Amino acid sequence: MEQVRVRFAPSPTGYLHIGGARTAIYNWLFAKKHNGTFILRIEDTDAERSTQDSIQGILDGLKWLGMEWDEGPYFQSANLNAHRQAAQLLLESGHAYKCFCTKEELEAKKEAAIASKQAYKYDRTCRNLSPEEIARKEQAGIPYVVRFKIPDMQESLIFNDLVYGPIERKYEDIEDFVILRSDGSPLYLLSNAVDDINDRITHVIRGQDGLANTPRQILIYKALGAKLPQFAHMPLTLDLQKRKISKRTHGEVVSVQFYREKGFLPWALVNFLALLGWHTSDDREIFSKQELIDAFSLEGVSRSNSIFNYTPGDAKFFTDPKAISINAHYIKTMPLNELEPWVNAVLKAADIFDETFLTTQKAWYYSTIDLIRQRFHTLNDFATLGAAYFSDNFPMDSKALQKNVLKHPQLTEWLPQLAERMERLDSWTLETTEKAVRDFIAERNIASGTLINAIRTVVTGQSVGPGLFECLVIIGKDRTTARLKNTPTLF
Ligand code: GLU
């Protein structure tokens, strides 16, 4: 195969959408797999809708995902001259023509077509103007657009999409489309094709919405004598109600930034998004970076719409449960030294990070992360559900407090008494802590569940977690007994 060159070409008109991110991921994977080049091209020619914030958001989002580009970012707006030159070449070679029809004339024809229930297509009025007529109109200062001349043929244009297979479009159904406006600015369809030619793109891997543009872009390629790339269009992503996923309907859950804020590991999101429209024959779900690069192929991309399993307002899952479970998988299994920096960042943001975690308390810090991560789904859980392990400033689950503590007023005496007994322990291990608690329960004839649940709630702020005595050992004697003694203040 020739040297692979692919590109991600977002229009910077909003945040980085997970659909766009998936396109970037597929391009990146394809480039990596074939030792090719992954190019980032920002398609910012729509000056009114493009914003600097959006460009920054796209760059940050891609970097966070680890989708580093080899070339670029190129900016389409810097290439306008090349687009105009291409239009000029097409004019000179007879593949395009100047159209002097006024807006009003075109509108009237469109309305007439609608009135007679005909599909409107430009009627090619200016396609065969004589050179004299053209010169006269130009001298008279009549503005013109440049239109592409669709070959006058009965046949169809056929191309093979690497995902959708053979696609056929009759020439007679394609309008002589505008490539240059009367102010000399190129239309997007032309800019996109010319940039792909100049960037020597070998595989155009993009969203399914690009499929409608492809026949006209192929004609531009051919008219310019350029080698055609291969095209591969990615399936749409719909929700369970078969709606296209969008910010309007689904909210922030469709933006990459949302996952970053929710405590996703970037690779977990990449892994999840890769599966949104692509799978291996054994439907495997977890892939390391190298495994995904090795396994990925455009042939594995499905033609049917992919399903994003999230319904707005779902109280149980904040996004597709599969995304959450993949993230949890990485949190649970990642080497601790790789997970540690992510945990540091989350604890720092919550203001419960202590520099000693990385110096004198490093072994303790790693054991703590390892103990509590087993039940976590996001990195943020370390700073919320896990706060009590790192700081005395931790949230108390109000339901747990209600059920496990406030219902039993005797705890205001029991827990401080237990604390005194535990303070006298010579060593602080699974065995000694458990024995102290069990003896206390036996002596006072307390229902063991009542005391155990109360200790957990008071010491960790949560009603569930790892084994109680493992928690106490990790949290340590001083903090455990102080929290137990503090019980009366919770009432
Ligand atoms: N700029 C287009 C978009 O954001 C991409 C088109 C393409 O990849 O060819 O939808």
Per-residue pLDDT tens for 49-80? 999 999 999 999 999 999 999 999 999 999 99
Please give the DSSP secondary-structure letter assigned to residue 447: -
203 lines ligand 1 (CB under 6 A): no
Same domain, 25 and 121: no
Would you state the pLDDT for residue 22? 98
Same domain, 208 and 267: no
Angle made by CA atoms 475, 478, 481, in degrees to the nearest 5: 90
Would you state the pLDDT for residue 326? 98
The pLDDT of residue 440 is above 90: yes
Same domain, 256 and 318: yes
What are the tokens at 56?
């920054």
Q: Specify the CATH number for the domain of residue 442.
A: 1.10.10.350
Please give the DSSP secondary-structure letter assigned to residue 386: T
Distance 211 CA to ligand 1 centre (A): 11
**Neighbour-count burial for 26-60, b at 16+ CB within 10 Å, e otherwise:** bbbbbbbbbebbbbbbbbbbeeeebeeebbebbbe
Would you state the pLDDT for residue 242? 94
The residue whose two tokens read 């692509």 is: 278
What SS3 class is residue 169?
A: strand
Q: Ligand 1 atom closest to Cα of 213? A: 9
Same domain, 195 and 90: yes
Return d(Cα 97, Cα 129) in angstroms, integer.
Answer: 9
Q: Are 76 and 191 in contact (CB under 8 A)?
A: yes
Same domain, 84 and 175: yes
The stretch 391-395 carries a mean pLDDT of 95
Same domain, 361 and 418: no
Return d(Cα 153, Cα 162) in angstroms, integer.
Answer: 26
Distance 435 CA to ligand 1 centre (A): 66
Would you state the pLDDT for residue 329? 98
Backbone angles phi, psi at 392, to 5 degrees: -80, -10
For residue 97, the cross-strand partners are 147
Tens digits of per-residue pLDDT, 134-155?
999 999 999 999 999 999 999 9
**Which residue is catalytic, options 63, 247, 399, 435?**
247
Distance 22 CA to ligand 1 centre (A): 13
pLDDT tier for residue 1 given thresholds of 50, 70 and 90: low
* 398 contact partners, CB below 8 Å, separation of at least 6: none
Count: domains in the chain: 4
**Listed residues 197, 212, 234: the one ending a domain:** 234
Same domain, 158 and 193: yes
* 87 contact partners, CB below 8 Å, separation of at least 6: 96, 146, 179, 180, 186, 190
Q: Would you call 247 a catalytic residue per the annotation?
A: yes
The stretch 473-480 carries a mean pLDDT of 98
**Listed residues 188, 211, 234: the one ending a domain:** 234
Same domain, 39 and 54: yes
**Neighbour-count burial for 82-102, b at 16+ CB within 10 Å, e otherwise:** ebbebbeebbeeebbbbbbbe
For residue 323, the cross-strand partners are none
Distance 42 CA to ligand 1 centre (A): 9
Distance 8 CA to ligand 1 centre (A): 8
Tens digits of per-residue pLDDT, 174-226?
999 999 999 999 999 999 999 999 999 999 999 999 999 999 999 999 999 99
Return d(Cα 126, Cα 147) in angstroms, integer.
Answer: 9
The percent of residues above 90 in pLDDT, for the chain, comes to 98
195 lines ligand 1 (CB under 6 A): no
Same domain, 187 and 259: no
Would you state the pLDDT for residue 209? 93
Return d(Cα 489, Cα 491) in angstroms, integer.
Answer: 5
Same domain, 228 and 85: yes
The residue whose two tokens read 């797999």 is: 33
483 lines ligand 1 (CB under 6 A): no
Q: Ligand 1 atom closest to Cα of 192? A: 9
What are the tokens at 60?
């940050």
pTM (whole model) above 0.85: yes
Question: In this structure, is the dihedral angle defined by the CA atoms of residues 156, 4, 58 and 185, taken in order, positive or negative?
Answer: negative
Q: Are 391 and 383 in contact (CB under 8 A)?
A: no
The pLDDT of residue 93 is above 70: yes
210 lines ligand 1 (CB under 6 A): yes
Q: Are 126 and 77 in contact (CB under 8 A)?
A: no
Same domain, 92 and 220: yes
The residue whose two tokens read 């307390």 is: 446
10 lines ligand 1 (CB under 6 A): yes
Mutation choice for ligand 1 from 192, 214, 230, 234, CB with most ligand atoms inside 8 A: 192
Q: What is the DSSP pairing of strand 165-170 with strand 230-234?
A: unpaired
Same domain, 225 and 347: no
Structural domain that includes position 355: 335-391
Q: Ligand 1 atom closest to Cα of 20? A: 4
Tens digits of per-residue pLDDT, 405-434?
999 999 999 999 999 999 999 999 999 999
Tens digits of per-residue pLDDT, 301-323?
999 999 999 999 999 999 999 99
Would you state the pLDDT for residue 2? 86
Query: What is the torsion angle, in degrees rounded to the nearest 10, for the CA atoms of residue 16, residue 350, residue 310 and residue 377?
Result: 120
Q: Specify the CATH number for the domain of residue 247.
A: 3.40.50.620
The stretch 41-46 carries a mean pLDDT of 96
Mutation choice for ligand 1 from 23, 43, 196, 204, CB with most ligand atoms inside 8 A: 43
199 lines ligand 1 (CB under 6 A): no
Distance 109 CA to ligand 1 centre (A): 31
Return d(Cα 161, Cα 312) in angstroms, integer.
Answer: 34
